[in-house]
Amino acid sequence: MTEEERIALIHAELDGELDGGQRADLARLLLAEPQTRVLRDQLQALGSRLDAAGQVEPPPQLKDSILKRLPQVPAQTQATYPKASLSRWRLAALIAGLVTAGSIVYETVQGPGPGSRDTAGTMVAEAPVTVDSVALDSGPVTGRASLYRDRAGLAVGLELSAAEPVDVLISSGGHSFQINGLASPSPGGIMHRTVPLPGVGGQGQEVELEFHIGERTVGRASLHAPPGP
């Protein structure tokens, strides 16, 4: 085995990529070659220290500073990083729009007070019309996603079942909301959520849904909003 192959084996071990045969090869090498063992121990120590270096809590003011600057979002958002520090703060403020919009939706559907379906009833319509609907019948998230319209506009209705909490990213026309931690009320049970989409759909638009469990994207769905009032 060449030096290069030895080193590759050690790195593969560090990355958890060894198969059974490679593991046995490495074990033999480590027994036979003290210098390889030293190198492996050093790289393992390095890997452990690097892994531990990513757990710094961000300053509490990071989130607040974004939220505080939300009202100052400038019309021109194409400023680049090299510009003055103030521009960077303003730029950062715009993302707070996403955060705040998401928070509002989150609070609407998850927060204390009336249940989300009750809230949705007041915000969306007394008699919503279903304009599109899609069944989710494969993957870890199943159920149905529907698009409703009434006088107040469009809303996405979710009836989902999943073994683990689901995050849903709803995107349309450049706007996006994320709802985190939707969980079935009981194993196999259906969770119901209604999410108003203010300003979406008047001209006819696609509404894209993306379902995440942890960091994994576990499903997607697309709903079409026909032109309406």
Partner 1 sequence: MRYQKPVFNVALRMLRNRQDAMDVAQTTFLKAFEHLGDFDPAFRFYSWLYRIAINESLNALALRKPRAELDGNAADETPGPDRAAEGDQALRAIEDALMHISPELRAVVVLRHIAQQSYQDMAQALDLPEKTVKSRLHSARERLREHLLRCGAI
Instruction: Please report the beta strands in the chain, taking only residues with DSSP state E, as ranges in sequence order.
Output: 129-136, 141-150, 153-162, 166-172, 175-182, 191-197, 205-213, 216-225
DSSP class of 227? S
Q: Which of residues 99-118 bind partner 1 (CB under 8 A)?
A: 99
Helices within 53-158 (DSSP H only): 61-68, 85-110, 116-123
> Per rule CB under 8 A, is residue 81 in the interface with partner 1?
yes
> Per rule CB under 8 A, is residue 62 in the interface with partner 1?
yes
Distance CA 167, CA 209 (A): 10
Q: How far is the CB of 225 from partner 1 (least distance, A)?
A: 16
Q: Which of 167, 169, 208, 165 is nearest to 184 (CA)?
A: 165
Among 30, 96, 168, 207, binds partner 1 (CB under 8 A): 96
- Residue showing tokens 């079935």: 184
Among 29, 70, 92, 213, binds partner 1 (CB under 8 A): 92
Among 3, 19, 56, 137, binds partner 1 (CB under 8 A): 56
Using the minimum distance from each CB to partner 1, give the nearer residue, 81 or 137.
81
> Per rule CB under 8 A, is residue 210 in the interface with partner 1?
yes
Cβ distance 172 to 153 under 8 Å?
Answer: no
> Per rule CB under 8 A, is residue 218 in the interface with partner 1?
no
> Per rule CB under 8 A, is residue 184 in the interface with partner 1?
no
- List of residues 6+ apart from 87 with CB closer than 8 A: 79
Total binding residues toward partner 1, as defined by CB under 8 A: 56
Contacts with partner 1, residue ranges (CB under 8 A): 7-8, 11, 14-15, 42-43, 45-47, 49-59, 61-63, 65-66, 77-78, 80-82, 85, 88-89, 91-99, 169, 171, 173-176, 180, 208, 210, 212, 215, 217, 220
